[in-house]
Amino acid sequence: MEADLKQPGGGRHTIRDVAQAAGVSISTASNALNGTGRTNPETREKVRRIADELGFRPNALARGLLTRRSHAIGMLTNDTYGRLTLPMAAGVSEILVDHGVSLFLCATNNDPRLSRLHLEALLDRQVDGIIFTATRIDLEPPPELTKLNIPVVYAFAQGPSGSVSFHPDDAQGARLAVQHLQGLNRSRILHITGEQNYRAARIRAEAYHEIVGASAQVMFGEWSEEWGHAAIERVFARPGPRPDSIFCGSDEIARGVIDALRDRDISIPGDIAVVGFDNWEVVSKQTRPPLTTIDMELKELGHQAGLAILGLSRGEKLEPRVERLPCTLVARGSA
Strongest mean pLDDT among 10-14, 36-40, 46-50, 151-155? 151-155
Q: What is the pTM of this model?
A: 0.77
3-state secondary structure of 267: coil
Across residues 5-34, what is the average pLDDT?
72
Fill in the amino acid letter for 127: V
What is the tens place of the pLDDT at every residue in 293-321? 999 999 999 999 999 999 999 889 999 99
Domains in the chain, start-ordered, CATH in brackets? 2-67 (1.10.260.40), 72-168+298-325 (3.40.50.2300), 170-295 (3.40.50.2300)
According to the model, what pLDDT value does residue 61 have?
44
CB burial of 74-105 (b: ≥16 within 10 Å; e: otherwise) equals: bbbbbbeeeebbbbbbebbbebbeeeebebeb
The per-residue DSSP string of 32-47 comes to HHHT-TT--HHHHHHH
Q: Is the separation of the CB atoms in 118 and 105 below 8 Å? A: no
> Reading across the β-sheet that carries 72-77, which strands appear in turn?
102-107, 72-77, 129-133, 152-155, 164-168, 321-325
Query: pLDDT digits over 55-89, tens only?
Result: 776 655 445 444 455 789 999 998 877 788 899 99
H, E, C per residue of 4-34 = EEECCCCCEEEHHHHHHHHCCCHHHHHHHHH
Closest CA to 74 of 115, 116, 117, 129: 129
In terms of pLDDT, which residue wins out, 198 or 139?
A: 198
Helix/strand/coil (H/E/C) assignment for every residue in 68-99: CCCCEEEEEECCCCCCCHHHHHHHHHHHHHCC
Smallest CA-to-CA distance from 119 within 82, 160, 76, 153 is with 76
> Rounded to whole angstroms, how far apart are CA atoms 317 and 30?
27
Q: Which pLDDT score, from 0 to 100, does residue 222 have? A: 96
CA 138-144-150 angle, 5° bins? 105
Average of per-residue pLDDT across 99-110? 88
Amino acid code (one letter) for 35: G
User: What mean pLDDT is predicted for residues 265-281?
Assistant: 95
**Cis omega (within 30 of 0) on the bond before 269?**
yes
Q: What is the widest separation between alpha-carbon atoms in the chain? A: 86
